[in-house]
Amino acid sequence: MSSENTSPLYKKEDTPKAQGFSFPAEWALQEALWLSWPHKEESWPGKLDTIYAPYSQFIKLVAEEQNVRINVADEAMKVFALTHIEAAGANLDNISFHFNPTNDAWCRDHGPAFLLNKETGEKAIVDWGYNAWGGKYPPFDLDDVVPTRIANEFKLKLFTPPIVMEGGSVEFNGAGTIMTTTACLLNENRNPHLTKEQIEGYLLDYYGQEQVLWLGDGIIGDDTDGHIDDITRFVNEDTVLTVVEEDSNDENYPILQENLEKLKEMRLLDGRPLNIVELPMPRPVVYEDQQLPASYANFYIANKVVVVPIFNDKNDQKALSIIQSVFPDRKVVGIDSVDIIWGLGSFHCLSQQEPKS
């Protein structure tokens, strides 16, 4: 439902929405893919070295058709990254490095939220507050300032709303609708001082949107408290892909069934229901007795390709075929994510898109 923010915490005329900015859908034409080079051993204990090959393959696929911009701490990290990217055979002409040190690799959550003014072509950045998913993984001071550093480098207008928000917690249909989850955005470890209505107000005013639709809980193993990019993804203005669990004995089954029922009740701004396409889940991926948040929904939509995490599972090909059916003009490619998911996220969690003016 649409919401008016009556909070006196900011002036509406100072917000992106009032100035004609909005957050484009991921399938809109992109200028670049932004990444933060993985370097934190604690995020992939014992497996950090194994993720560089699939990560670099991700870069290669996207860099065939568009720019890829990578945050690194220093020249040494740049050289290290280049050895892996060159080994993958990537088009280096489309790859650039930016000296923005980070605590971790999850650019979807700490990276810049790029806005676009469709009338003027001007871009801007929202730098939301960032606290590593409710303070779970300190320190996060470097990650928190990445959007501001990028805005300064590219001389872009910067908005800094005083609340915590992560890019993986919100989905956009490109026509005024945001989708998110109560499990994450209403969690007391994010913005306990704000009401649901106030949070909606921030979302609408700083992303330049008209309504917020709410799902419930996230999948088992998701340490973000239920990010939507592991559950339900807009693929056009009125269609969502949503994961469902086939095994009724699986812990994810009731969670995902409840979200499916919520989706059926939702309406777009013009009153139409959503077109819902179901996507299977892989079998549980377990490592060191921990169930990991493996989901085919954590794909990244680039200009010419959709990169999908796969898990050496019987449902891999079925998931790829379903995703291909909703992206007929893009090549859908699966990349093995069995090692990457040990970090509790995959390609969408690792990435952030910059729209083309």
- Catalytic residue IDs: 349
Residues 6 or more apart from 49 whose CB is under 8 A from it? none
Task: Determine the residue type at 312.
Answer: N
Q: 111: buried, middle or exposed (CB in 10 Å: 19+, 13-18, 0-12)?
A: buried
* Interatomic CA distance for residues 131 and 139, integer angstroms: 9
Q: 19: buried, middle or exposed (CB in 10 Å: 19+, 13-18, 0-12)?
A: middle
* Interatomic CA distance for residues 110 and 216, integer angstroms: 23
Task: Determine the residue type at 138.
Answer: P
Beta strands 275-280 and 351-355, pairing class: unpaired
Find the radius of gyration of the CA atoms of the chain: 19
* Interatomic CA distance for residues 212 and 45, integer angstroms: 37
* Interatomic CA distance for residues 179 and 234, integer angstroms: 9
**Strand, helix or coil for residue 220:** coil
* Interatomic CA distance for residues 317 and 332, integer angstroms: 11
Q: Which residue has the tokens 């979302």?
A: 203
* Interatomic CA distance for residues 103 and 274, integer angstroms: 38
Contact predicate 88/56, CB 8 Å: yes
Measured in residues, the chain has a length of 357
**3-state SS of the chain: helix, strand, coil percent to 5?**
30, 25, 45
